[in-house]
Amino acid sequence: MRGRRRRVRTRRARCAWLAVGLAASLSAQACAVNPATGRRQLSLIGEDREIEMGREADRAYAAELGLYPDSALAAYVRDLGLRLAACSERPDLPWSFRLLDDPVVNAFALPGGFVFVTRGILASLNSEAELAAVIGHEIGHVTARHSVTRLSRMQLQQLGLGLGMVLSTGVRRVGDVLSSGLQLLDLKYSRGDETQADELGLRYMTRAGYDPEAMLDVFRTLALVSGEAGSRIPEWQSTHPEPENRETHIRERIAIEGRSAGGRRVRDAFLRRLDGLVYGEDPREGYFEGATFLHPTLRFAIDFPEGWTTLNRRREVVGVSARRDAALSLAPEPGASGAREVVVRFLSADGVRAGRIVEDEVNGLPAAAATFSASDGRTTIDGTVRGVVLDGSVYRIVAYAPRKAWREYRDVVARAMASFRREIDPRVLSVQPRRVAIVRLARTMTFAEFMAAYPSTVDAATLGRINRLAPADTLEAGTLVKRIVGGPEA
């Protein structure tokens, strides 16, 4: 949680706009020739609806994932995106390019021209031309209407399915609260879509005057990310697969189309823009040490059950059991006057059967709790909801599981809920994020010598990846190089 906010990983939020698309009413089946690809494609969704879907999802993504609070860097990403979009076959879309406050190495596009780039991928790039290749690829997904085509196919597949699978309003509200961190829907582009988006991105970046071979550098960086030991950022690999094969294909396209490497790179100006960029997870927004979640800004801690998968989202922290049959979530409850009101609000949902509310304390903090159950007609879930007050903020903690499994988890989640406490450790309260620092070399040296002369708070492999350098590589005097400073280990 970032203050009272927190992002969710990019891939898990895809269900927001996908659900909007599935809810759209079907029109008559139609095929049209796409101006970007020259191919006929299935389209049950018109451009107006495509834009409407994208705009609705864009607002939800910006609110849910969080934008990076550097207006100059955000404007830079936006302006570059608009220049590239103007080179596309759909320049009149309401194009939007946003910079997400997310360490994940990723970028993605929504229908209608709404594109997101993460700060994580910025930190891994080394020129404006590389960023143009990334954004151009996402513009290609939009101009080729890849998401619209796939949604149209899914709509056809929905015909004949009844509405009995949809939960009642009340139970769905409970489900919305309790399903945090569970990936319900995922829309992946096909290998053909990815190849086509690469080709279109190459077209747009070249039209805008950038060196097309910068796209090859992007693929090399992505190959390093996907092969990094212990990498916690699989999103690009899942939605943009096989960077090595893509590099081979684009190299062939560059040769076939006779594109020269005489375009712009814009390396130094790009790197200077990255100076001070937050790198990796921002601990000020909360972080895990083992199963313990610590929030230095809001000054609290809570112990999640051992062995559970945990996720720090923008608006809540969640944990899911190893068998994915139980969940625990903690989130601030804006506008609540006290712990009891949090519980009453939750239990007021239609379809929820509430137990007696008990007012008590948790580690000296005012609290209230109640058990509950809810059913969609097929499955009954049991759970506990608790409200806790700390420093004027009210928090809601919810745990649940299917009735048959609840007996196993009841005591486990009760201990987790009871662990919520005020954090007072100065080490935790003073923690700061790591940041990118740009160094101009005063003399010629190897990258290994640079790492020794300018220590970083990440390991050598990570530093080599974000600079795309090996220890033996020689760097000339005056070269700009990234290092990482600050953070918990500084």
Give residue-wise pLDDT tens across range 296-342: 999 999 999 999 999 998 889 999 999 999 999 999 999 999 999 99
Residues 96 and 33 in one domain: yes
Asked if residue 301 is part of any domain, the answer here is: yes
Q: Which of 220, 252, 273 finishes a domain?
A: 273
Round to whole Å and give the CA distance between 219 and 197: 14
Q: The CATH number of the domain where 366 resides is what? A: 3.40.1000.10
Residues 139 and 38 in one domain: yes
Asked if residue 225 is part of any domain, the answer here is: yes
Residues 457 and 418 in one domain: no
Residues 219 and 88 in one domain: yes
Residues 308 and 363 in one domain: yes
Asked if residue 5 is part of any domain, the answer here is: no
Q: What is the pLDDT of residues 408-457, one digit of tens each?
A: 999 999 999 999 999 999 999 999 999 999 999 999 999 999 999 999 99
Asked if residue 461 is part of any domain, the answer here is: yes
Q: Which of 239, 273, 307 finishes a domain?
A: 273
Asked if residue 110 is part of any domain, the answer here is: yes
Residues 199 and 243 in one domain: yes
Residues 353 and 445 in one domain: no
Domain of residue 443 covers: 432-486
Q: What is the mean pLDDT of residues 140-169?
A: 53
Could you give the C-alpha distances from 221 to 36, 239, 393, 465, 474, in angstroms and in order?
Answer: 27, 16, 43, 7, 19
Round to whole Å and give the CA distance between 156 and 456: 53
Number of domains making up the chain: 3
Q: CA dihedral defined by 295, 232, 461, 279, rounded to 10 degrees?
A: -40
Residues 449 and 471 in one domain: yes
Which range is least confidently modeled, 28-42, 188-202, 242-256?
Answer: 28-42
Asked if residue 2 is part of any domain, the answer here is: no
Asked if residue 329 is part of any domain, the answer here is: yes
What pTM value is reported for the model?
0.79
Residues 240 and 385 in one domain: no
Round to whole Å and give the CA distance between 282 and 273: 19
Residues 377 and 444 in one domain: no
Asked if residue 102 is part of any domain, the answer here is: yes
Residues 396 and 463 in one domain: no
Residues 140 and 237 in one domain: yes
Q: Which of 273, 298, 322 finishes a domain?
A: 273
Q: What is the DSSP letter of 316?
A: -
